[in-house]
Amino acid sequence: MSSNNQNFGNHARFVPGYHFVTVLLAIVYLVWAIYRALTIRDAATHFELVGALALVGTALYARVFALQAQNRVIRLEEQMRLARILPTDLQASISSIHPAHLIAIRFASDAEASELVRQVIANPAMTGKEIKSQIKAWRADHYRV
């Protein structure tokens, strides 16, 4: 993302080369391979279908693995930030905050983080979307994969 004015409405990251080219081509190839396997019904077309499934799986898992690694880094960064900025009464709660909550809280300014942490502790069922929608002073994250 090149815009410095990141907010709840525009914080999702789309990489055109991945989301609109690579994944689209893999899905088109899979559909074509399924069609051929259903109409030709020989070993070669079935192996082609296996290859198409492997390609789509690789594309999807590459994304999932990158996001999981990034989520671990975000969790650590946010735990360190919260240890530095939270009031003493909330310090002991840092380790109990769910990673999904930390990932959402990362967008909150230091001034807003304490109140959001209190809300998350009081209501662990809060979703990341609910947390992010309450943020007024948005901290942009332009490094998300």
Residue 125 lies in a domain: yes
Residue 44 lies in a domain: yes
Residue 1 lies in a domain: no
* Structure confidence by residue, pLDDT tens digits, 70-118: 999 999 999 999 999 999 999 999 999 999 999 999 999 999 999 999 9
Q: Which residues are bridge partners to 108 per DSSP?
A: 138
Residue 99 lies in a domain: yes
Residue 7 lies in a domain: no
- DSSP string over the chain: ---S---TTT-----HIIIIIIHHHHHHHHHHHHHHHHHT-SHHHHHHHHHHHHHHHHHHHHHHHHHHHHHHHHHHHHHHHHHHHS-HHHHTTGGGS-HHHHHHHTTB-HHHHHHHHHHHHH-TT--HHHHHHT-SSB-------
Domain count, the chain: 1
* Structure confidence by residue, pLDDT tens digits, 49-64: 999 999 999 999 999 9
Whether the CB-CB separation of 119 and 90 falls below 8 Å is answered with no
Distance CA 144, CA 93 (A): 26
Determine the average pLDDT of the residues in 34-62: 96
Residue 6 lies in a domain: no
Residue 5 lies in a domain: no
Distance CA 115, CA 34 (A): 52
Residue 80 lies in a domain: yes
* Structure confidence by residue, pLDDT tens digits, 18-28: 989 999 999 99
Query: What domain range is 50 assigned to?
Result: 16-133
